[in-house]
């Protein structure tokens, strides 16, 4: 599949969903008050999810 063919048929809804999830987890990171260890774990997990989703998005955009 060449790049123009991928661009023409690229799943836009999937890209939007990935972007939305990244924003969701970044919002948790920024807005979650750290009251105890459970909150710290949630924020750390959200950071990991956001990082993994950003990597997935890069792979998706390359068309691999």
pLDDT in tens, the chain (64 residues): 556 666 666 688 888 999 999 999 999 999 878 888 888 899 999 999 999 999 999 998 887 7
pLDDT at residue 33, as a whole number: 81
pLDDT at residue 50, as a whole number: 96
pLDDT at residue 64, as a whole number: 74
Residue 25 Cα distances to 5, 13, 28, 59, 63, angstroms = 32, 19, 5, 19, 24
């Amino acid at each position: 599949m060449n790049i123009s063919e991928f661009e023409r048929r690229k799943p836009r809804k999937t890209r939007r969903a990935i972007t939305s999830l990244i924003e969701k987890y970044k919002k948790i990171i920024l807005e979650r008050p750290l009251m105890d260890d459970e909150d710290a774990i949630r924020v750390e997990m959200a950071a990991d999810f956001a990082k993994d989703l950003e990597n997935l998005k890069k792979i998706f955009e390359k068309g691999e």
